[in-house]
């Protein structure tokens, strides 16, 4: 049994709407201080272990830079350079690593693996991407949306402004899609899903409580109609490379292009978690165009994760 006194972030619905309100406010403050070169060192002498079983650029840099900026330090492990790649049981690794550090971030394959690690960990565990979920990315994406389209009268990101919004998901029913769906259920917006046949979201895998927060569209352009945000992801996620050729054929009509963006609201934003493949899941015109906020999304990974690490270790600081 996972120790209920330890707060993990293994999927988006591990936190509630009120906790997200707190995190968005803290992320805004932490970002402001970062931009002003003001020190923010709540995690002095704390250590984050980062375990990567899959490749990464943004997750590695954002967690590592973020932890140093909070006054802490990091240990970086990969499958290849640790005993994880030599079949040491995940439970044993969790027991050992969590005796030496204060926080663990893991990027791995099956969600069950990170759950097993968390069950045996003495410290909070953060999901840095699994086959099923990518909660830190959606945390950054929602913060980015609110910065652009959902601030209150004081200029603060206000998650209440997400209510009633429409997010169009064009592409694979993957870890990003699952996490968008959990966020929609929790924060009161709707996801318009369009995936090729055979690549649909499985609501049970996504851990949804109802079917009330999403609608399914055969044609991706119909999914984009009237959307506030259009988003997509690679056609072949890490771990699915053997399916690449079949996926290239199946996804050919699921490239977010200018025509799809025209179907969305005029003020709609475009997002992509990156890395992107121009000419596959998105046209260069869209990702490099005026509605795209992909660079803000990437930068905001660091600011929201700093707020998340602070919260998991220290709770609600003022
Ligand atoms: N978006 C994201 O998680 O990027 P990396 O794979 O580079 O970490
Ligand atoms: N769905 C992609 C996201 C990469 C950040 C993958 O899992 O590879």
Q: In the chain, where are the structural domains located?
A: 12-134+298-314, 137-294
Amino acid 5: pLDDT: 86
Residue 153 dihedral angles phi and psi, to the nearest 5°: -65, -20
Whether the CA torsion 260, 264, 266, 269 is positive or negative: it is negative
Give the residue among 55, 75, 212, 225 at the shortest CA–CA distance from 128.
Answer: 55
Amino acid 12: pLDDT: 98
Amino acid 4: pLDDT: 80
Out of 55, 56, 135, 302, mutate this one to test ligand 1's pocket (max ligand atoms within 8 Å of CB): namely 56
309: which 2 tokens? 């690490």
Q: How far is the CA of 129 from the centre of ligand 1 (A)?
A: 8
Amino acid 279: pLDDT: 98
Q: What is the pLDDT of residues 77-87, one digit of tens each?
A: 999 999 999 99
Whole-angstrom Cα distance, residue 80 to residue 69?
Answer: 28
Whole-angstrom Cα distance, residue 191 to residue 168?
Answer: 6
Q: What is the pLDDT of residues 192-238, one digit of tens each?
A: 999 999 999 999 999 999 999 999 999 999 999 999 999 999 999 99
Give the residue among 266, 259, 256 at the shortest CA–CA distance from 291.
Answer: 266
Amino acid 2: pLDDT: 67
94: which 2 tokens? 């969790």
Q: List, in sequence order, every residue forming a beta bridge with 191; answer none if it has no partner.
A: 167, 214
88: which 2 tokens? 């040491």
Using a 10 angstrom Cβ sphere, with 0-12 exposed, 13-18 middle and 19 or more buried, the burial of residue 67 is buried
Whether the CA torsion 296, 298, 300, 303 is positive or negative: it is negative
Q: Which fold has domain 137-294?
A: Rossmann fold (3.40.50)
Q: Which fold has domain 12-134+298-314?
A: Rossmann fold (3.40.50)
Using a 10 angstrom Cβ sphere, with 0-12 exposed, 13-18 middle and 19 or more buried, the burial of residue 7 is middle
Amino acid 87: pLDDT: 92
Amino acid 223: pLDDT: 98
Marked catalytic residue, from 134, 221, 247, 303: 134
79 touches ligand 1 (CB under 6 Å): no
**For the CA atoms of the chain, what is the radius of gyration?**
19
Torsion of CA 161, 291, 248, 131, to 10 degrees: -30
Residue found under tokens 């596959």: 280
Give the residue among 150, 154, 173 at the shortest CA–CA distance from 163.
Answer: 150
Amino acid 1: pLDDT: 61
Amino acid 215: pLDDT: 98
Low-confidence ranges of the chain (pLDDT < 70): 1-2
Whole-angstrom Cα distance, residue 107 to residue 87?
Answer: 17
What is the reported pTM?
Answer: 0.98
Q: How far is the CA of 184 from the centre of ligand 1 (A)?
A: 22
Q: How far is the CA of 56 from the centre of ligand 2 (A)?
A: 9
Whole-angstrom Cα distance, residue 168 to residue 179?
Answer: 13
Q: Do domains 12-134+298-314 and 137-294 have the same CATH topology?
A: yes
């Amino acid at each position: 049994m996972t120790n209920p006194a330890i707060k993990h972030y293994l999927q988006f619905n591990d936190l509630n709407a009120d906790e997200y309100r707190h995190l968005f406010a803290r992320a805004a403050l932490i970002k402001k201080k970062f931009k002003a070169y003001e020190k923010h060192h709540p995690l002095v002498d704390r250590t984050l272990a980062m375990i990567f079983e899959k490749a990464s650029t943004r997750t590695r840099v954002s967690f590592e830079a973020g932890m140093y900026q909070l006054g802490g330090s990091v240990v970086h492990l990969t499958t290849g350079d640790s005993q994880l790649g030599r079949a040491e049981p995940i439970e044993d690794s969790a027991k050992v690593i969590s005796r030496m550090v204060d926080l663990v971030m893991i990027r791995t394959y099956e969600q069950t693996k990170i759950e097993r690690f968390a069950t045996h960990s003495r410290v909070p565990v953060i999901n840095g991407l699994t086959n099923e979920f990518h909660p830190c990315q959606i945390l950054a994406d929602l913060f980015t949306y609110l910065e652009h389209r959902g601030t209150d009268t004081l200029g603060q990101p206000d998650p209440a402004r997400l209510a009633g919004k429409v997010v169009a998901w064009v592409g694979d029913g993957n870890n990003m899609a699952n996490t968008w769906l959990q966020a929609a259920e929790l924060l009161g917006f709707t996801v318009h899903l369009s995936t090729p046949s055979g690549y649909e979201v499985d609501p049970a895998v996504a851990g949804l409580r109802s079917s009330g927060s999403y609608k399914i569209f055969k044609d991706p352009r119909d999914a984009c109609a009237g959307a506030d945000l259009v988003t997509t992801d690679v056609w072949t996620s890490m771990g699915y490379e053997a399916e690449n050729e079949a996926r290239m054929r199946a996804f050919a009509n699921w490239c977010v292009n200018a025509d799809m963006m025209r179907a969305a609201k005029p003020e709609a934003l475009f997002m992509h978690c990156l890395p992107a493949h121009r000419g596959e899941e998105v046209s260069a015109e869209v990702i490099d165009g005026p509605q795209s906020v992909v660079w803000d999304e990437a930068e905001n990974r660091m600011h929201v994760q700093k707020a998340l690490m602070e919260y998991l270790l220290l709770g609600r600081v003022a």
